[in-house]
Amino acid sequence: MKREPQSNSTKERILAWLKRWGSKLWQVTRQLWHRFKQVMGKFWHRYQLTRWIIVVFLSLFLIMSIHLTFIAKTSNVENLQNRLSRPTMIYDNKKQSAGSLYSQKGTYVKLNNISANVPDAVLSTEDRNFYHEHGFSVKGLGRAAFLLVKNKLLHRNYISGGGSTITQQLVKNAFLTQQQTFSRKAREIFIAIEVENQYSKNDILTMYLNNAYFGHGVWGIQDAARRYFDVNASQLTVPQAATLAGMLTSPGMYDPIEHPAATRARRNMVLQLMVENHKLTQSAANQYKKTSLGVNQGYIDNDSYKYPYFFDEVISEAASRYHISEKSIMNDGYKIYTTLDQGQQKSMQATYANDNNFPANSADGTKVQSASIALDPKTGGVTAVVGGRGKHVFRGFNRATQMRRQPGSTIKPIVVYAPALEHGYFYDSTLQDKKRSYGTNNYTPKNYDDTYSGSVPMYKALYESLNAPAVWLLNKIGVDQGYKIAEKFGLPVEKGDKNLALALGGMTKGVSPQQIARAYATFDNDGQMPSPYYITKIVDASGKVVAQNKGGKVKHVISSKTAREMTSMLIGVYAHGTGETAKPANYTLAGKTGTTNSGVKGDESNDRDKWIVGYTPDVVVATWEGYDDTNSSHVLNDISEHNINGLFKQEMTGILQTTPGTKFTVEDAQTRANKRLKGGSSGWKSLFKDKGDLVDRFNQSVNDIGDKAEKLIDGFRALF
């Protein structure tokens, strides 16, 4: 007789135990759940939670609706047609048209100038119920809601299309971003309703067709018709209209030039949709499906961005100072009045377009770069700007405003000579011109030709751009004085720049041509430094002034007497100094040249940067030349056939012809000094000559005595 395995009885006992305890656990759970329902029911009934949930839900819905309605009502919908139907226009300082801006706008045409085949094809494809809905589609919203739930379950935080009517698509392009989120979709619906309240269906359809994108940088049905078929929008045939309507979903995928097969298949699908929408018979559609695309390029881009670097700065200033976005400023039909002088801008651009005005390219073909800016010294209004050579990149790097390079000797008038005049020195003060070392690090500045005269009058040290006297003078008046006045002039100096090398342009960050031009405008404006600006007024498409800048905001930096004395000395730079070959014929200029060493090891003879600044009472111009990246293969020859002086002469000749030709009221410092010497004035008598200021001449005499005493002491020390 066989016995049952003991393992089976053990298994049965375990199962029976689990059943017993499972039953007890289920009974306990049911009792607890029943008790919870009783307590929760009493609590729910006592505090009427159903009503509160409904109230909270309706309150949230009401708040959201109020918020979205507010957004819709404040979106300036009533101005939409004006914004879309005209480009943003730029006007110069004489209120003459200078060009236009638009990035998402083409030639605007009215609906009666668009072939009826276009609305038939577009509405059959995009929105068949367009004339029977009020801005949004309930079916479309249901589809969008389904996709939202699906994407949330799949942890995707976006909406995968669906739900957009023609009006919503117009709103998305005109008011919103392309970001696909629930909040954007909600704003789109409410603004679309407001658009429907403000405009007729035909107006909305017209705006949509003129604001649609058709690839290759082409916006609007008129330019698309020209771009792909070389006809006007009014002449588009059924298959041509179907082709363009098919592109709206994806201009890149259904591009008749790049992807003809896919485009033809899409066109034929649109033709079939037109049949379904009763806009075309099946037999006609079948005939049209057999035709070729017939692409024929006839579009010519309207190059109204005539002054690219200036227009770039206008857009930047509108964004930074007036908080108008690039998209808005480019597309919303503003009128922007600026400080632009078209004559000066054209002249400057013509100078830069001529490669003969620049040194030859390096061996590897790299261009020598350059940048220039011109501004009104009284107001700070920029009249012309070029930010580089070669092909312009929209809102790319502008060397005239964004570059930072060491200014070389152009900084001497700012941090050395102007503060010296402010502290008692005079234009013909005697400066020491010797090779000497300073400080514990034995800083030893050298003149460009390493020759020294022992002493030199200040005006000559300036126009010959001598380094030794400049450093000696900064040491005399104190580095702190030079550093403080550099800050007053708006130069971006840092604590590490507080040393004698500042006299020769030694700066951590460097400066831009615009910053240098602004500083020199101070000498040209009786010691008052203006703030550069480009925009004088912005008017929106409805005619409302949304921004205004009358200019004239100035900062007192130095005395008017010091400014005049500086101009007197700076005239010498072009009369008989380092800028003599840059002087345009029949004009008197004041200003300064400057260079910086290449910094390449073993190459002391060539330069990294070349600067030149020149001004008249009417205009200040600052120009820089150099390579973007300086190395052993990319340096500027110290002597070049096409140097910066030649460039500046050509540039200034054209610019000055557009100005009134106002003359300086001060005379060249060297001429003044020669007249004074010929008149026999010297020593204490000079206190009362040359329209002399008693205090100035007294300070000058004290300084001269101090200098002579220092020489005697140095000589005495030399004996030991």
| Helix boundaries (H) for 394-495 | 412, 418-422, 458-463, 467-477, 479-488
Sheet containing 88-91, strands listed edge to edge, beginning at the edge strand earlier in sequence: 97-101, 88-91, 335-338, 535-539, 545-548
Q: Which of 100, 124, 164, 409 is catalytic?
A: 409
CB distance 221 to 101 below 8 Å: no
- From CA 426, how far away is CA 565, in angstroms rounded? 8
User: Cα 312 to the chain's mean position, in Å?
Assistant: 5
User: Cα 39 to the chain's mean position, in Å?
Assistant: 66
Q: Which of 126, 313, 422, 565 is catalytic?
A: 126
How many CB atoms are located within 10 Å of the residue 167 CB?
29
Burial class (CB in 10 A: 0-12, 13-18, 19+), 367: middle
* H or E element in which residue 610 lies: strand 607-615
How many CB atoms are located within 10 Å of the residue 226 CB?
21
316 is catalytic: no
Structure token digits, residue 148: 């939202």
CB distance 430 to 455 below 8 Å: yes
DSSP symbol at 5: P
- From CA 30, how far away is CA 36, in angstroms rounded? 10
- From CA 598, how far away is CA 604, in angstroms rounded? 7
- Kindly give, in sequence order, each residue whose CB lies less than 8 Å from that of residue 339, ignoring residues fewer than 6 positions away: 93, 375, 376, 379, 381, 382, 383, 533, 534, 535, 536, 551
User: Cα 313 to the chain's mean position, in Å?
Assistant: 5
| Helix boundaries (H) for 430-496 | 458-463, 467-477, 479-488
409 is catalytic: yes
Residues marked active site are found at 126, 409
